[in-house]
Amino acid sequence: MLRLEVLSCKDLHYLDNTQMSHITKLSIKNYRGIKELSHDFGNEKFIVLIGRGDSGKSTILSAIYAVLSPSWNMTFSDLDFYNQDTANSIEIEATLKELPTELLTESKYGLYIQNDFNEDGRQEELSIIIKLTVDETLEPHWVVKAREGSDNDDKPISGADRALIAVNFITDYTDNQFAYNRQSPLYALTKTKLAKNRNVTIERVKSELIRSIASSASDNDLLQPLNEPLEELKQTAEKLGLNVTDLCAQLDIKENPYTGNSIALHDDSLPYRLHGKGSKRLMSIAIQSEMTKQGGIVLIDEIEQGLEPDRIITLVRILNSTRSGQIFITTHSLNVVVEAEWHNLFIVNKNANMLYVLDEELNGCRRSNPQALFARKIICCEGKTEFGFLRYLDSWIYDKYHTNLSAKGVVLVNAAGGNKMFSYAVKLKDLGYDACVFADNDNAKELEPVIKAATKKGIDMFLCEEGACIERQLIMDLPWNYIEQIINCPQKDFPYTHIILTEQFYKKFDEATDEKAQNEMREEIIKLSIVKNKEWFKHIPGGEFLGSVFIAAYNDMDSNKKMKQNIESLLKWCDII
């Protein structure tokens, strides 16, 4: 393999001029809430950053925009430094490949390509590293890093060259994206569409429009060249669910006609900046989607804001099908988590120095329990009964301790039986979550290997006594005067009513006055409650009912009872007591 030292235009004849830049690696140091973080994205083009609030998701998008922004006057303050410590410089590095041809010539950054080439001189994966440094002077400096081992120094990269990467950031402040100023993606999109006609440029249209104000020439005729490129944008907007009737470029009467914002996107003669929040975000995303057809990197913060669930689902499908460019989004939406593919999901944990990639083995958990991926701590419940039991406990926690599981960052997961509560807990632990298991223990021998593996991983276990399911554990632990509540369960909101007891049963129950007879009745109730296909409580409302009986008996229950011990230990694990 030859080491290629110099690239010239003739060396790049095989490269496509279409911009398709994307980030393969990202490194962030001392930026806002991130002390140090790095991640290799490989060839992933659709990246969904998920995590609890204040975990650093938006900071990652801001860092990407900062290092690749075309702005030449980006400002920084002490607040942009980690812990406001300006003694440690901000350093952000982005490794990019599939770069615009213009950046790879010898006169630009051909000497700074990071990888090797085949003997025939054709590229494998041309990549460069762009680095932003901000020191205590608060002055930003952008460079392309020299290849390790070369004699070159890092080379400054201009805002114009960074603009070729085509990074755009969609936030709540998107109004300027609907104007034809040099910083807007609408400008870049239209400029690309007009490139084939050298006689028409946005600047020429603006100049002629200004002259027409004095001569009363028709604005519509002058703006027609800007409207032609909007046809494909209309189609994309309609796919996203926008009802676009008359999308066109017009003068925005609020703006100074001599500024870049004087021409703006309108629909039905209304400037798009005056439309609703959801519509503006969708139109902004439509513009960016058109941009990604040319390549480029799109950053969308909290993609779900202002959008209905069905629009969110459609939007994720469209963005995930993009084959050019790269898209980064942050979200707190369960719909986004379910609609994306498992390999699109990157978990951000506060103070972690890396992102965690979702394991394919958690795909079922992602689809059935997407809420888990936004947690700090996760309780893996064996099934619906355990899930419902803890749901009721959560309302009691609020009444007694004036907090709840959500306030402590705790989320419940229904593992739907088998041994999945243990495998889920292990995999979630590997992703940086604190996980525990709340489950039966009526199949201890068979589950012994997975229980040992989970214990070895540091998973806390809140299990019933060996041989006991939750029904048996609770019925055996309850004081006798609370057992009547079990057999008289109203079965309200139950999906089926399997508690059907005879007069003879009730007579026998009433006659059970000594401990032996009462224990025999407990056993009989347990057997009746767990008959296969006729279970009394194998559903969430059933679990909630059992939780209500447990709480009613809580103060009267002996402290040595297993269920009470488990719940008290679980409350400590949740940082509630």
Q: What is the secondary structure of 295-326 as a DSSP string?
A: --EEEESSTTTT--HHHHHHHHHHHHT--SSE
d(CA 249, CA 266): 6
**Once rounded to an integer, what is the mean pLDDT over residues 234-260?**
77
C-alpha torsion sign, points 28, 33, 39, 44: negative
Cβ neighbours, 10 Å, residue 12: 18
Band of the pLDDT at 118, cuts 50, 70, 90?
Answer: low
**Once rounded to an integer, what is the mean pLDDT over residues 331-342?**
96
Band of the pLDDT at 12, cuts 50, 70, 90?
Answer: very low
Give 414-418's long-range contacts (Cβ < 8 A, gap of 24+). Answer: 414/368, 414/369, 414/381, 414/383, 414/384, 414/387, 415/365, 415/380, 415/381, 415/382, 415/383, 416/368, 416/383, 416/384, 417/382, 417/383
Stretch among 19-28, 81-90, 198-207, 507-516 having the lowest mean pLDDT: 198-207
> Is pLDDT of 120 > 50?
no
pLDDT score for 446:
92
pLDDT score for 168:
86
pLDDT score for 236:
86
**Which DSSP letter does residue 474 get?**
H
Q: Where are the beta strands (DSSP E) in 325-376?
A: 326-331, 345-347, 356-357
β-strand pairing of 247-251 with 263-267: antiparallel
pLDDT score for 408:
96
Cβ neighbours, 10 Å, residue 519: 13
Stretch among 97-101, 118-122, 281-285, 493-497 having the lowest mean pLDDT: 118-122
Can you give the length of the chain in residues? 577
d(CA 208, CA 218): 11
148-197 tens-digit pLDDT: 888 899 999 999 999 989 898 877 655 666 777 766 767 777 877 777 66
Band of the pLDDT at 2, cuts 50, 70, 90?
Answer: very low
pLDDT score for 468:
97
C-alpha torsion sign, points 347, 350, 355, 359: negative
pTM of the shown model? 0.84
What are the angstrom distances between the C-alpha of 407 and each of 53, 242, 435, 460, 575? 12, 37, 16, 20, 10
Range among 100-104, 318-322, 389-393 with highest mean pLDDT value: 389-393
The three-state secondary structure class of 147 is coil
> Is pLDDT of 104 > 50?
yes
Residue 112 token pair: 């700074």
Average pLDDT, the chain: 88
- Residue 168 pairs with which residues in a beta bridge? 298
Residue of 477 and 149 predicted with greater confidence: 477
pLDDT score for 119:
39
pLDDT score for 258:
52
